[in-house]
Chain A
Amino acid sequence: MNAPVKHTSDITDAEESLKLQQSQAITDSDGATELAMQNTLLTPRFYTTDFDEMDAIDVTPVRADWDDLIAQMVSDPNKGHFKKNADWDTVDWDGMEPQLKKEFIDFLVSSCTAEFSGCVLYKEMKRRGNNADITQLFQLMARDEARHAGFINDALREAGIAVNLGFLTQKKKYTYFRPKFIYYATYLSEKIGYARYITIFRHLEANPEHRFHPIFKWFEEWCNDEFSHGEAFALLMKTDPKLTSGLNVLWIKFFLTAVYATMYVRDHQRPAFHKALGVDPDWYAHEVFTKTSILSQQIFPITLDIDHPRWQRGLERLQKANVDMAGAKGLRKITAQIRAAAAFVSLFTIPSKKHQVPASVRMEPAY
């Protein structure tokens, strides 16, 4: 009897993975194998910010919590985690329903690009900064993002998709974000990312028959990295009370509304993905918003009233306007844009819930 063919999932490092993939492609020349792979150019964006302002951050008021968090990140509890092991089941890409395959690949490519862009952003902050606390944090976060990107990249390779990192030789423009906008956006992105991943992970724990790809088994540790990154941004915001008071509360409300609404719209555009997971996107959205709202109370003085009657209605109107916008031209497009803007305003003007922010910021992942 022949020895069982080793699957790429059995490997634990890049070299072995490459060797195995090449040996399995014996009927193909290396060049043909590369050609057969669908090429996806990663196109991260490049940013600058006010690096002097970031250098001026003083973490003294949160020093104890800060040192704890950094020590935990330095110890790198997830180091050995992003390796494929026996849990990485064989994926039947050819047997996957075509629409699901498209949506799932969109998920993998988008996630890989996001991790990759996060890595570029954090690395830039590390390089340009002069404040030892801040640069160390960004270096650690860049490490995690690059690791996640590498892991997703390998899953993409199995699906026959090669990412192309050749973007550096193309002309790219650096845009500018104010530091506080980076804090609000990335803090929320990391926390909602945690809530999204853990909700799917727990759902699939209870309903394993819906786990159509092994990558979901890695979501638990993955989201713990997201969680720590969010903690770091919460501590950064805690160093300067102005960031979470006064007019900035309106900015916070804007970011909460924009992030929740965008997530709702994007998820509803991927019905096959959610159907395969056995997840109703409306239930999922509510679940993720609830968790994110509870988490964000650690630093934000307001949360959105997601049980307000206008909330769900506004999201549905926004989603519908977005669909109409995509297929329309001229006046129809303009009308759809106005409807989308009106829906957003309706969501934004729902009175928010105010609450007391705790003295100490730190939380542990508990979902």
Chain B
Amino acid sequence: MGLLTKDIERAPCTVEISHKFESLHAHVRFNNGAVIYPGDEVQVKGPEIMAPFGEIVTEDREAVIFRASKLERLWTRLTGDLEVMELCEFSFSEEVTL
């Protein structure tokens, strides 16, 4: 990883999407132990994975990890906190009018 250069890695992953009444969730697990750092971007390859209502879909896919450069990682660590209010739940979207 360079100061300004981005690396691209490929990682096998398992995607689980649950579209059930009891649980609505979607998760990606990297199967080679790859770790995501601040500023990295991840994209699961292949067509959109859709779970029909009432089902859980689990698929093995390949994910591409676009590693942030050293500078970008540092920047994300320094500025990420500014967006922390996103973690709060306010029941409504921020749109002023609908």
Which A residues form the contact surface with B (CB < 8 A)? 13-15, 17-18, 21, 45-48, 82, 99, 102-103, 106-107, 109-112, 114-121, 123, 127-128, 142-143, 146-147, 149-151, 153-154, 157, 162-178, 181-182, 185-186, 188-189, 192-193, 196, 258-259, 262-263, 266-267, 269-270, 273, 322-323, 326-327
Contact = CB atoms under 8 A, between A and B. Distances in A.
Nearest to B98: A102
A171 B25 contact: no
Nearest to B56: A14
Nearest to A142: B25
A82 to B, nearest CB: 8
B42 A169 contact: no
Given A185-B84, A267-B91, 12 more contacts: A13-B22, A48-B38, A146-B23, A150-B22, A150-B24, A167-B26, A171-B41, A174-B37, A176-B76, A177-B84, A193-B89, A196-B91
Contacts of A18: 52-54
16 contacts: A17-B54, A117-B87, A123-B27, A146-B24, A146-B25, A149-B24, A153-B21, A164-B50, A171-B42, A172-B43, A174-B37, A176-B80, A177-B87, A196-B91, A267-B91, A267-B92
Interface of B: 15, 17-29, 35-55, 66, 76-77, 80-81, 83-98
A189 B42 contact: no
B50 A120 contact: no
B98 A168 contact: no
Contacts, number: 194
Contacts of B35: 128
A262 B37 CA distance: 30
Contacts of B50: 164-166
Q: Which of B21, B42, B81, B84 has its CB near the most chain A CB atoms (within 10 A)?
A: B21
A86 to B, nearest CB: 17
A77 B12 CA distance: 38
A28 B80 CA distance: 47
A117 B93 CA distance: 14
Given A146-B18, A196-B91, A176 B25 contact: no
Contacts of B96: 269, 322-323, 326-327
B97 A326 contact: yes
Contacts of B49: 165-166, 168-169
Contact of A45 (B18, B22, B43, B86): B86
Contact of A173 (B40, B87, B92): B40
Contacts of B88: 185-186, 188-189, 192, 259, 262
A128 B29 CA distance: 10
Nearest to A271: B97
Contact of A13 (B21, B91, B98): B21
Given A171-B41, A174-B38, A182-B87, A109 B53 contact: no
Contacts of A169: 43-49
Contacts of A259: 85, 88
A270 B97 CA distance: 8
